[in-house]
């Protein structure tokens, strides 16, 4: 069976490499069928690359080639990936994707197009890199009512935070290292400011609860205001700071979903997830807590998930897999600030007496070199709106959510 790859960047070149390297073993998995890359679409030139005869700059070379039945889209971004994917699905080709931005924005439309045209649109690589999570959530945990999910969903920021926590490395140096290793997005702002994690939260929430969630519905904060001082205070409370995506089921037609730095106490399965690794903790009513852990970014781990989808499409070339979700609505994702109670870490220019006057119980934290006019403490559980009200008049430096996962 002939396959095409659109986008020959880090992930796309990994997909070609895995398909070629595993060419001898793949037929054993799909009843003797072979998978051969016939075309690679990219506008750039790759002098010296051994695939010169496969490269094309013209999308129509893939669209109009009837031999090509499965296309791996590893281009990233919404345009032109959406237009290309829609045309391919309408032409009766299955498409697999690592493009979380596209799935988060346009997943519902593309899944519906796949359904209408009797083909598959799969995107295991869009969340958690090489970690199997989309299929387990869709199939293996199908018997559960999902109560919530929490995930370390961005390898770049987890790598940066790990370097800050374990090596005291400055933020910029850690970011450069993550970029050199091929973890970061083209524009690393998407990593640092939480947009990449937000897209993954949208995909997980859509799948877990059956209604499309758009990035604009998910309150998103990144890690750019986390300092080594915060890291140090949180360490004194036996915790670490992680960028978490959190999703909570409220009722059949309401969920909460948000991305932010969060204090995770040691003892949580998420606390020891370091470097570029990701983990997704799923809380089901029958199974309890299950945690999916593995490499969350990088060429070969992500290619591993894309090629698994290509193989799955080849296995299901004559029938569609049941996979998808329905439309959501504007009120579906509630304002977490008014609805979700949790403890908070607060750092302020204030005295312990001031804090005690505002909160019935707080746990004070300490750090080496703590100035005499600075305090840090953990509050009781309350909504963020209640916290904002209580903190009125206090010279607050930073606030970080404390997770219960
Ligand atoms: N930039 C992303 C990350 C790549 O660092 O996790 C994988 O989605």
Which residues, at least 6 apart from 215, have a Cβ–Cβ distance to it below 8 Å? Answer: 104, 105, 195, 198, 199, 202
Candidate of 183, 192, 193, 199 to mutate for ligand 1, largest count of ligand atoms within 8 Å of Cβ = 183
Residues forming beta bridges with residue 41, ordered by sequence position: 6, 56
Token pair recorded at residue 123: 């995107």
185: pLDDT strictly greater than 90: no
Query: What are the C-alpha distances in Å from 24 to residues 30, 113, 309, 378?
Result: 12, 33, 18, 56
For ligand 1, atom 7: residue with the closest CA? 297
Over residues 136-160, mean pLDDT: 96
Over residues 287-295, mean pLDDT: 97
Interval 33-89: pLDDT, tens: 999 999 999 999 999 999 999 999 999 999 999 999 999 999 999 999 999 999 999
Active site residues: 200
Predicted confidence band at 332 (pLDDT cuts at 50, 70, 90)? very high
Interval 158-175: pLDDT, tens: 999 999 999 999 888 999
Atom of ligand 1 nearest to the CA of 153: 6
Over residues 129-135, mean pLDDT: 96
CA of 300 to the centre of ligand 1 (A): 13
pLDDT at 275: 95
Give the side-chain half-sphere CA count within 13 A for 237.
23
Q: What is the pTM of this model?
A: 0.97
Interval 256-270: pLDDT, tens: 999 999 999 999 999
CB 184 less than 6 A from any atom of ligand 1:
yes
Predicted confidence band at 221 (pLDDT cuts at 50, 70, 90)? very high
CA of 295 to the centre of ligand 1 (A): 10
CB 42 less than 6 A from any atom of ligand 1:
no
Atom of ligand 1 nearest to the CA of 156: 5
Q: Which of 59-73, 152-166, 315-329, 346-360 has the lowest mean pLDDT?
A: 315-329
Candidate of 10, 14, 74, 184 to mutate for ligand 1, largest count of ligand atoms within 8 Å of Cβ = 184
Token pair recorded at residue 252: 């059949």
């Amino acid at each position: 069976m002939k396959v095409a790859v659109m986008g020959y960047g880090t992930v796309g070149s990994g997909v070609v490499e895995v398909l070629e390297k595993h060419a001898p073993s793949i037929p054993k998995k799909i009843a003797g069928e072979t998978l051969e890359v016939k075309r690679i679409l990219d506008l750039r030139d790759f002098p010296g690359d051994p695939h010169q005869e496969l490269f094309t700059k013209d999308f129509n070379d893939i669209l109009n080639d009837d031999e090509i039945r499965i296309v791996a889209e590893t281009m990233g971004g919404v345009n032109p990936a959406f237009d290309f994917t829609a045309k391919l699905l309408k032409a009766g080709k299955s498409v697999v994707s690592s493009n979380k931005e596209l799935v988060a924005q346009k997943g519902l439309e593309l899944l519906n197009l796949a359904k209408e045209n009797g083909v598959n649109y799969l995107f295991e690589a869009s969340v958690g890199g090489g970690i199997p999570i989309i299929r387990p959530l869709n199939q293996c945990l199908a018997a559960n009512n999902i109560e919530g999910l929490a995930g370390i969903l961005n390898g770049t920021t987890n790598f940066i935070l790990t370097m800050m926590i374990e090596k005291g490395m400055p933020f910029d140096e850690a970011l450069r290292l993550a970029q050199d290793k091929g973890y970061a997005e083209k524009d690393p702002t998407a990593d640092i400011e939480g947009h990449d994690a937000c897209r993954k939260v949208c995909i997980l929430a859509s799948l877990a609860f059956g209604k499309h969630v758009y990035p604009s519905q998910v309150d998103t904060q990144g890690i750019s205001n986390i300092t080594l001082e915060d890291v140090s205070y949180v360490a004194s409370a036996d915790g670490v700071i992680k960028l978490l995506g959190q999703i909570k089921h409220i009722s059949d037609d309401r969920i909460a979903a948000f991305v932010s730095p969060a204090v995770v106490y040691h003892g949580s399965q998420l606390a020891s997830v370091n470097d570029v690794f990701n983990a997704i903790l799923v809380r089901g009513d029958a199974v309890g807590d299950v945690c999916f852990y593995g490499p969350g970014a990088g060429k070969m781990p992500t290619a591993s998930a894309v090629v698994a989808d290509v193989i799955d499409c080849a296995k299901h070339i004559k029938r569609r897999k049941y996979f998808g979700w329905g439309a959501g609505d504007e009120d579906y994702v509630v304002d977490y600030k008014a609805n979700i109670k949790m403890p908070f870490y607060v750092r302020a220019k204030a005295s312990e007496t001031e804090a005690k006057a505002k909160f019935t119980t707080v746990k004070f934290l300490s750090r080496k070199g703590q100035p005499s006019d600075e305090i840090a403490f953990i509050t009781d559980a309350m909504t963020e709106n209640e916290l904002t009200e209580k903190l009125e008049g206090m010279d607050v430096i930073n606030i970080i959510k404390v997770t219960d996962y």
